[in-house]
Amino acid sequence: MFNNLILNVDSYKTSHFVQYPQGAEIVSSYVEARGGQFTEALFFGLQAFIKQYLLRPITLADIDQAEALLRAHGEPFNRAGWEYIVNTYGGLLPLHISALPEGAVVPTKNALLQIHNTDPQLFWLTSYLETALLRAIWYPTTVATVSWQVKQIIADYLNQTCDDPAPQLPFKLHDFGARGASSLETAALGGMAHLVNFMGTDTVSALIAARQYYGADMAGFSIPAAEHSTITSWGREREADAYANMVQHFAKPGTLVAVVSDSYDIYHAVSEIWGQQLREQVLASGGTVVIRPDSGEPAQVVPEVLERLYANFGGSINAKGFKVLHPAVRVIQGDGIDLNSLGGILESIKQAGFSTENVAFGMGAGLLQKVNRDTLSFAMKASAIRINGVWQDVYKQPITDPGKNSKRGRLAVIRTPAGIKTIRAEDLKDEENLLRPVFAKGELLIDESFDTIRARSEKLF
């Protein structure tokens, strides 16, 4: 049932095929991030949706299943319309989708994609896809945008405090969000969206999705890491033995291992156990032990942990005047990280005299789950309809909320000296329409690699 595109819909959509004006032929709609929390959006996720849902033909079995369910549900069912798609097009949807390139970082309030039906008998089909298509775009685009915003914050502090920031940045935000996501598919899509910006993740489903939909052999990486149960199962009196076991098994030359160290007393663990009892073992391993605090106020705890590690393991002062820990130790903070807290934590690290390169961050729910359609105020709206061969504008203009005013006409997106701008398609002159055809009548027209999308996201489109 969950693979049946006819049922990937809001109930009321099934009654819309009789609600359009007589003579309706083509409906053109667009998807837009209208603003919300950010002024830019990183567009991502359309190719995954097309491959998962639009390249699979609708079947008569799908129609039978949908009809039985929807009629029992109390809704009308357009069996003739769906049978026409099966009989005329082999079950593939006669739609045309054009879109901005994925990975593009663009100002909000611009069309990200435009869709219309290509068969006049199927004027109802464009808006029928709204539920599935909008959800497939708003969520990964919003997560990618949150991750991109985090990247800008971390990059700024790296540039201020690190001698060689570029190699550091890709692994500074790690995805801890799989267990806090609402479903496996949510974790896969959101985790994959995060990997457009960074290369650290513990969300395995994101790796599968990036491989399946974007041809990424390996989109992200992780390291062995302890959790509280693997430390506390040794008992408090054997806390040092638990840490030593991690070093013995995983700390090798050129490798990293993360060890949560706040099960009891983070400061005792850092200064006495890591800094005294296990210091020589850590140094002799040739690896890097990444200490993970997991409680308390991060803006206070992280600088204190850095100070204690520096006191015991030493380090150096870089060319910008900031302390860098000995390569044998680093810190990862994964508790309490979101867009609101991150800047304050980084500032506290800087004020303590430490380079941002000493610390990585993990985000869980703040990355994959604490977003919704209103974070970027996403909408899909019809903007033009062809009736008896004549195009006319379709729009909404509610007097009670101008923020919900929709665009009119068939659209194009162009590059101007002032930036990206959405215009009416008939106003195009010599400009390139940045909305590229990506899907037509069951065929994927552009199949881009994950590396291409990553590279595109590195700068404003």
Last residue of a domain, one of 368, 397, 415: 368
Query: Which two tokens mark 267?
Result: 């400061």
26 lies in which domain range? Answer: 5-141+377-456
**Cα–Cα distance, 27 to 262 (Å, whole number):** 58
Whether residues 265 and 391 fall in one domain:
no
Whether residues 319 and 393 fall in one domain:
no
Q: What is the DSSP letter of 457?
A: T
Q: In a 3-state reduction of DSSP, which class is residue 412?
A: strand
Query: Which two tokens mark 257?
Result: 């291992």
Q: What pLDDT tens digit does each residue of the chain (461 aa) get? A: 588 999 999 999 999 999 999 999 999 999 999 999 999 999 999 999 999 999 999 999 999 999 999 999 999 999 999 999 999 999 999 999 999 999 999 999 999 999 999 999 999 999 999 999 999 999 999 999 999 999 999 999 999 999 999 999 999 999 999 999 999 999 999 999 999 999 999 999 999 999 999 999 999 999 999 999 999 999 999 999 999 999 999 999 999 999 999 999 999 999 999 999 999 999 999 999 999 999 999 999 999 999 999 999 999 999 999 999 999 999 999 999 999 999 999 999 999 999 999 999 999 999 999 999 999 999 999 999 999 999 999 999 999 988 889 999 999 999 999 999 999 999 999 999 999 999 998 999 999 999 999 999 998 88
Last residue of a domain, one of 368, 391, 406: 368
Q: Kindly state whether residue 461 falls inside one of the protein's structural domains.
A: no
Q: Kindly state whether residue 305 falls inside one of the protein's structural domains.
A: yes
Which whole-number Å values give the CA distances from 297 to 36, 255, 311, 338, 424, in the listed order? 29, 29, 21, 13, 51
Whether residues 352 and 264 fall in one domain:
yes
Alpha helices in 253-402, H assignment, sequence order: 266-268, 279-285, 298-313, 339-351, 365-368
Number of compact structural domains in the chain: 2
Q: Kindly state whether residue 22 falls inside one of the protein's structural domains.
A: yes
pLDDT at position 1 is 59
Q: Kindly state whether residue 11 falls inside one of the protein's structural domains.
A: yes
Whether residues 50 and 159 fall in one domain:
no
Last residue of a domain, one of 341, 368, 395: 368
pLDDT at position 383 is 97
Whether residues 65 and 125 fall in one domain:
yes
Whether residues 154 and 134 fall in one domain:
no
Which whole-number Å values give the CA distances from 379 to 32, 347, 358, in the listed order? 6, 36, 41
**Cα–Cα distance, 48 to 137 (Å, whole number):** 10
**Does the model's pTM come out above 0.95?**
yes
What CATH number should be reported for the domain holding residue 9? 3.20.140.10
Whether residues 88 and 172 fall in one domain:
no
Whether residues 130 and 176 fall in one domain:
no
Q: Kindly state whether residue 383 falls inside one of the protein's structural domains.
A: yes
What CATH number should be reported for the domain holding residue 258? 3.20.20.70
Whether residues 164 and 194 fall in one domain:
yes
Which whole-number Å values give the CA distances from 273 to 46, 161, 197, 242, 269, in the listed order? 50, 29, 36, 11, 5
Whether residues 182 and 70 fall in one domain:
no
Whether residues 102 and 168 fall in one domain:
no
Whether residues 191 and 301 fall in one domain:
yes
